Structure 1
Amino acid sequence: MAAYGAAHYRRRQATRGKVVKEKVDVPSGHKLCRPCGEVKPHSEWHKNASASDGLSTRCKACKAIQGRAGHLKRSYGITEAERDEMITAQGGVCAICQEGLAEHVDHDHQTGRVRGVLCFSCNAALGQFKDRPDVMRRAAAYVEGNLWKPTLVAQGVYRQPS
């Protein structure tokens, strides 16, 4: 007479050449995350009312990693490895100021083409200037001390800044 149960099932699947997940003893109040292989307390899991145990299938950390990867693919059409290659090519710093930590993927809003990876400040600045080069040039001239208002040369005669 054959013994039935989980152990028998595992042995039978293994003899058929199937991949068999090992049984892991998990203490009460904990759950195994298959993607990272760690046993974590229930506080490290999102709730999922439709699951048999009421918890998500991945821990919060694994779900965040998957979410970031999905965001890059959906929004910019690149993988995390491609983004990391861009950061390495830039020397790990912002492509504009070359000081800040490169963390934010920058793209052309018209074409969707990825331009580089920027620090938070430079990325926000481009957004505030609405990616308009003419406005950015005027801002640079302003910061350099070239005022953009005409100067009075003679009565009724104004000189425009060059």
Structure 2
Amino acid sequence: MGEKIKICSKCKQNKFISDFGVQNDRKSGRRSACKDCDAITQKKRRKENPDKYIKATRRWQLQNPDKVRNAKLIRTFGITLEQYNEMFNEQNGCCVICGKHQSELKLSLAVDHNHDGGNIRQLLCNHCNLILGLVQDNISLLEEFIKYVKKHKDI
């Protein structure tokens, strides 16, 4: 037996029940308009009253910081907050280059990644991550920096 069919209250098309959003207070357990029509309605409402939706979004973000952080980590680096926390714990909450603990820093430890392949490496403090980014992982340039600092160490 196949999936049930329902008629959308807006577009009047026959659609599979899975094409309708869940609404538990309805007899069918589904919304009366299909997901496509609901999306069009929501887009129109957001356009007509953007301030209302901006405020609601900001309020939700403040109430759900872990969900926001998780979404950003997935979007930016392809890792979850749980994976970030595992890395954090493996590094004892410290930058792997300078050794500063998270409690000494203003910003969270940054996810370092290889820009060529996008491979996640480890967590760095903002300063170490910035330096590494500025030298573009150029080892010979870093060696020149070391020579320079050693040369002028006693000045």
TM-score tier, shorter chain, comes to 0.5 to 0.7
What is residue 111 of structure 2 aligned with on the other side?
105
Counterpart residue number, 2:81: 80
TM score, norm. by length of structure 2:
0.55
Consecutive unaligned residues of structure 2, counting only runs of 5 or more, are: 1-23, 30-45, 103-107
Aligned sequence identity (%) = 30
Aligned partner (choices 107, 110, 133) of residue 127 of structure 1: 133
Q: How many Å apart are 1:146 and its aligned residue?
A: 8.0
Q: Could you tell me how far apart the structure 1 residues matched to 2:47 and 2:64 are? A: 17
Contact 2:61 / 2:68 at 8 angstroms: preserved in 1?
no
Q: Which structure shows the higher helix fraction?
A: 2
How many pairs were matched up?
Answer: 105
Contact kept, 8 Å, 2:74 with 2:80, in 1: the verdict is yes
Offset, 1:50: 5.3
**Structure having greater relative contact order (Cα 8 Å, sep ≥ 6):** 2
Root mean square deviation of aligned Cα? 3.1
For 1:96, the aligned partner's letter is I
Aligned twin of 1:117: 123
Q: Structure 1: which 4+ aligned runs deviate by more than 2 Å?
A: 48-51, 54-58, 62-68, 144-147
TM-score, normalised via structure 1 length: 0.53
Q: Which residue of 2 aligns with 1:141?
A: 147
Q: Flag structure 1 segments of 5+ consecutive residues without an equivalent.
A: 1-8, 19-47, 148-162
Give 1 or 2: higher strand fraction: 1
Q: Deviations over 1:7-50 (max 9, x none)?
A: xx95x86xx9x7xxxxxxxxxxxxxxxxxxxxxxxxxxxxx555
